[in-house]
Amino acid sequence: MAIDDKELEQLMPETSLNWTEDAKARMLNVPFFVRKSVVRGIEQYARDKDIELIDDEVVSRARQEREGEAIAKMEAERKAREAQPGARRQYVNFAFYKLDSAFRRLPQAEIDAAKEEFINVLEDYDAQEGTIVLAYSTVGVRCDSEIMLWRISYEMENFQRMTTAMLRTKLGKYLDTTYSYFSQTKRSMYMDLFNPEHEEDRTHIIPGKAKYLFIYPFTKKREWYLLSKYARQGIMDEHIYVGNQYPSVKLNTTYCFGLDDYDFVVAFETDYPDDFLDLVMDLRETEGSRYTEKDTPIFSCTAMSIRDAVETLGI
């Protein structure tokens, strides 16, 4: 007979040392999928210290010391990686535009010439070394946006130069910027204990591998940042565990602290929107969800070539 979730929540792994009831009770607050490894770690700590009885105080000391060592090691390794050549952070911009309908009423010859001029500007910047320009359509999905440009560069000024060049075109004079989010890449602040391979070089985004992109800015409540690093890592363990159940969805997290109004901008790439919907529903039930301050607006985007995305404007 299969064990249900309630039984898993109340299941204490087999122990090899003596535990007080209070210490065991604390283990039942640990997510069941990491509980066994936590119990083993605490017992190894007790053996190293020649402790025969594990009580509430031993549990506290063991977790603080072991987690502190793990986080210190992780941060040291991370700093060493970031010091390596080629570990520069990237600037990231998600810019959403809507076309003034007056443009569609211009003579077709003017529309065609303006369209080519605009496409050439976007393609010229995409061709520059160290700069990526990806186009997405939001036509028919949102009323306040029709095209989105995901821009990645090592220089913030590239976004400004490109935007200026866009606005100088005839089509650009009819474009309204409805949303724009500015952020930067950075290595994750949390360890993926379940799939260490996800600890890739997150200072370097390689996007555009899926048909759909789902984007939203994201801010945590201030109470989140007042928690200890150990508490946040524990809560994120559950969050990461859920995310790993959906390998078809790739997460790109960029950071806005001090750069824009939000804490993060998250962009999920997938070929299966239904997987993304299920993932978000599952994440709503995690402990970390209670610390969400704001995670809207949300944008559903379809990847296209620059030319095809411009064509969806109906011109």
pLDDT at 197: 45
Lowest pLDDT segment from 103-107, 200-204, 264-268? 200-204
Tokens linked to 254:
């960029």
Spatial separation of the C-alpha atoms in residues 52 and 63, rounded to whole Å: 17
Q: What is the pLDDT of residues 166-198, one digit of tens each?
A: 999 999 999 999 999 999 998 776 555 444 444
Spatial separation of the C-alpha atoms in residues 21 and 24, rounded to whole Å: 5
Mean pLDDT of 77-97: 77
**195 in Cβ contact with 244 (< 8 Å):** yes
User: Between residues 311 and 201, which one has the greater pLDDT?
Assistant: 311
Question: For the chain, what is the mean pLDDT?
Answer: 87
pLDDT at 169: 98
31-56: burial string, b at 16+ Cβ within 10 Å, e else:
bbebbeebbebbbebbeeeebeebee
Q: Is the pTM of this model over 0.85?
A: no
H or E segment to which residue 179 belongs: strand 175-184
Q: Is the pLDDT of residue 290 over 90?
A: yes
Residue-wise DSSP of 203-246 = TS-----SSEEEEEEEEE-HHHHHS-HHHHHHHHHHHHHHHTT-
Lowest pLDDT segment from 68-72, 97-101, 119-123? 68-72
CA dihedral 193, 190, 67, 245 (to 10 degrees): -30
Mean pLDDT of 244-269: 95
Spatial separation of the C-alpha atoms in residues 63 and 27, rounded to whole Å: 11
Q: Is the pLDDT of residue 34 over 70?
A: yes
Quickly tell me which residue has 């070394």 as its tokens.
Answer: 129
Q: How far is CA 305 from CA 19, 142, 225, 283, in A?
A: 62, 20, 40, 32
pLDDT at 186: 87
**265 in Cβ contact with 183 (< 8 Å):** yes
Q: How far is CA 252 from CA 124, 166, 188, 215, in A?
A: 25, 26, 10, 9
SS3 state of residue 299 = strand
The conformation of residue 84, written as its DSSP 8-state character, comes to S
Confidence of residue 308 (pLDDT cuts 50, 70, 90): very high
Q: Is the pLDDT of residue 285 over 90?
A: yes
Confidence of residue 81 (pLDDT cuts 50, 70, 90): low
Q: Is the pLDDT of residue 307 over 70?
A: yes
What radius of gyration do the chain's Cα atoms show?
24
Lowest pLDDT segment from 108-112, 179-183, 229-233? 229-233
pLDDT at 86: 53
pLDDT at 17: 92
